[in-house]
Amino acid sequence: MSERAAYSAARIFDGEAWHEDAAILTRDGLVEAVLPIDRLPAGTPVHRLDGGMIVPGFVDLQVNGGGGLMLNDRQDVETIRTICSAHAQFGTTALLPTLITDTAEVIRAAVAAGEAAARENVPGFLGLHLEGPHLSAARKGAHDPALIRPMSAADEAFLIDARRRLPALLVTLAPETVPPQRIARLAKAGIVVSLGHTDTDHATMQEAASAGARMVTHLFNAMSQIGNREPGVAGATLDIGLLYAGLIADGIHVAPATMGLALRAKKGPGRIFLVTDAMATVGTDLQSFTLNGRTILRDKGRLTLADGTLAGSDLDMIAAVRLVHRALGLPLEEALRMAALYPAEAMSLDAQYGRLAPGARADFLHLSDNLEIGGVWIGAKEAA
């Protein structure tokens, strides 16, 4: 028997436009329609949320950990479930648990855990993001240089097989270490290729994009910067229209003024979207944790290795939305699109995620007018 319900608030943002005096009509975990309250089918149960707004649930494509756990430390369904649950309370209703550069054994275990999480329909689990190990050691960031290595034919075959076993797979690689022909084969297999931890030039970025790379990992971080005679990876990201780009909007990884410059400069149709790059600390009071045997310290919103290198973030998605709305002055609807619609588009999943449209998943939030979270629903079931 199908389950039908409606949810109303003072305003609804469907990912494209605002609706007043309206409700979301859901059936079996999907959006049936957004329509005026007085046009709801007779007998439909209506959940009236007090004031504020209903908006699409956030989509985070780079989540290393949360709730005290890191995918690198434990590759199983319960770790994925804990990470998804920790981020749901901050508005993220779909995410890619992210494995930072590690051994081949750990990578295989992470893929197996992702496959199991998909079978069990873990709420919020979207697929996996493998960030490395095929990166540039020159732009390693917090990745262990001893584990960075070129991509072999066996690695390529493994990734293509992993994509068949997972609902979605995002792979971050450095294009100077992975030739365009290999990128093309990965993309053809349905893997979303993101360019990151790279010291390459504009020409190589263009070749990778033409081969099928679709995205850039954490814009301005762990990449060559804009120069007067060479745009570098950062400049190429803004110049090449096909590329989407994740942005860590915590005010630490990228200065707000630089974020604003990038948003004004970015060519489309690729967009800049929000990611957290969150670590185990999110949703906890942890002051330190380990990654690949190295201690990471937490201090006033900043996570670093002992030498001061930034190591992921202590950011949650609603905080990122507040920052780009308030510090950058972006219209609220654009800040919300950066957290929901644009990352879904980057993964070619925007028919299901990032919007409240007929046939999309009923993943949504209730926000107060000052952007405090009042409730989170995943598949029309309350999560937080």
Any idea which residues carry the catalytic annotation?
277
Quote the CA–CA distance of 250 and 316 in Å, as a whole number.
9
- What lies within 8 Å, CB to CB, of 151 at 6+ separation is 134, 173, 177, 178, 182
Contacts (Cβ under 8 Å, ≥6 apart) of 130 = 98, 99, 107, 110, 159, 169, 170, 171, 172
- CA angle in degrees (0–180, nearest 5) for 143-146-152: 95
* Tokens, residue 326: 């308030």
Q: How far apart are CA 125 and CA 127, in angstroms?
A: 6
The answer to whether the CB of 244 falls within 8 A of the CB of 32 is: no
HSE value, Cβ hemisphere, 13 Å, CA-based, for 23: 20
Helix H or strand E encompassing 119: helix 104-119
Residues 163, 361, 248: CA angle, nearest 5 degrees: 65
Q: Provide the 3-class DSSP secondary structure of residue 182.
A: helix
Nearest-5° Cα angle at 178, 173 to 184: 95
CA-angle at 335, arms to 330 and 341, nearest 5°: 140
